Amino acid sequence: MRLIIHKPAVNPNWVTKGTYVASVDEKREWILENEHQLAGKISREIIHKPELNIWMIIIPVIFVYFFFQLNRSVSAKKEFVKNFVLTRKNILNKARALSEDEEKPDFEEMAQSEKVPDCAVEAYKTWANVLFEHYQKLLNEKGDSYAELVRGRYQNRDRYLLILDRISKAENKFYQALRKDLDGSVKNAGDVIQAMEKSLPLLRYEEADGIF
C-alpha cells in the first residue's frame, strides 16, 4: 500500500516559520481603526452627555428629557466619528492605491469632491499631503499591528512626535481656514474647532506614549 503525504498549502503571508507579513489591506485597516479610536476620544472631549441629577429621577417628564438628550449625545458622537474619519479614509485609500498605480493623488480634485470652501483649499492640500505621506510610510512598513508599523517606521517616540506635530500644525491651519467660512453660518463652529485644536495634540501624545 502506497502512503500519500499531502503537503500543507503555503500561505504567501508567511515568509519564514513564525514570521507573519501583513498585507497592505490589513495595514490599511489597522491605520483606519486607529483613526476611529482617535475620533472617538475627541468626540468624548467635545460632546458631553447630560448629567443625571435627583430631580430627573423624581420627576418622570424630566427623566424622559434626560434620555432624549442622552440619545442625542450618543448620535452626535457617532456622526462626529463618521465625519472625522471620512477625509482621512479617503486620503488613506489614495495612499493604498499608490502601491498599485504609482500615481500621487490630485489633492485639488479631492478638495473639490469634498466641497472644501475656497478659503480652505490650500490649507487642505497641505494637510492632506502630510497625512498621505505618513500613511504611505506606514503601509510600506512591516509589522503585525498599528503600533509595530509606527515603531518600525519612526524607531522612537521623539521621531514619531515630529510627524505628529507636522500633522497637527497642518491640521490646525486647515481648521483655522475653515473657521473663516463656518463662523457666520454654523452655530458654535468656532468653539468646536477650537476644542479640536486643543484636544488633538494631547491625544496624539498619549498615543505616542502608549506605543513607545
Is 6 domain-assigned? no
Q: Are 170 and 133 in contact (CB under 8 A)?
A: no
Which of 5 and 84 is assigned the larger pLDDT? 84
Which of 146 and 21 is assigned the larger pLDDT? 146
Is 2 domain-assigned? no
Cell of 107: 489633492
pTM for the whole thing?
A: 0.76
Per-residue pLDDT tens digits for 108-119: 999 998 888 898
Q: Is 52 helix (H, G, I), strand (E, B) or coil?
A: coil
Which backbone phi and psi does 15 adopt, to 5 degrees? -85, -35
Per-residue pLDDT tens digits for 100-146: 556 778 999 999 988 888 989 999 999 999 999 999 999 999 999 99
Is 56 domain-assigned? yes
Q: Are 60 and 135 in contact (CB under 8 A)?
A: no
- Interhelix angle 146-154/189-211, nearest 10 degrees: 80
Is 62 domain-assigned? yes
Is 13 domain-assigned? no
Q: Nearest-CA neighbor of 76 among 45, 100, 116, 38?
A: 45
Is 4 domain-assigned? no
**Per the structure, how many domains does the chain have?**
1
pLDDT at 165: 93
**CA atoms in the 13 A half-sphere facing the CB of 170:** 20
Is 169 domain-assigned? yes
C-alpha–C-alpha distance, residues 30 and 145, integer Å? 7
Per-residue pLDDT tens digits for 37-61: 999 998 888 777 666 566 555 555 5
Q: Range of 95's domain?
A: 19-211
